[in-house]
Amino acid sequence: MTLRLGSEPGRRVFRLREHVSKEVLAATAASSERLGWIDEFTVMEAVRSYFTDAAPNPGINTVLLDNFPGSASQVDQLLAAVRAVAPEVHPG
């Protein structure tokens, strides 16, 4: 469903795993204790970078989040990134 919604003009889809290096993703699969876990620093850098690039783009009016955020700390990271690049935007 997200892919279909994201294909509309002005919409983009953010998937964390698409903005993280292959090495980091490989490390999450290396052990059952880290399965699917991406460290906080990497998450923040990926989110910040994505929204820094997306915010000034006049062709983007909506960003859909696919399976993100996955934790309370990721909610905080997302809000901090959005506020930093677009303080007038109100996530909702």
Which pLDDT belongs to residue 36? 55
Q: For residue 50, with 0-12 CB atoms within 10 Å meaning exposed, 13-18 middle and 19 or more buried, which class applies?
A: buried
Mean pLDDT of 84-92: 72
Contact 71, 62 (CB under 8 A): no
Tens of pLDDT, residue by residue over 6-64, are 788 999 999 988 888 888 767 665 655 554 578 888 889 999 999 999 999 999 999 99
Q: What is the pLDDT of residue 8?
A: 85
What residues does 44 pair with on adjacent strands? none
pTM: 0.77
The encoded tokens of residue 61 equal 């009016």
Three-state DSSP at 72 gives: helix
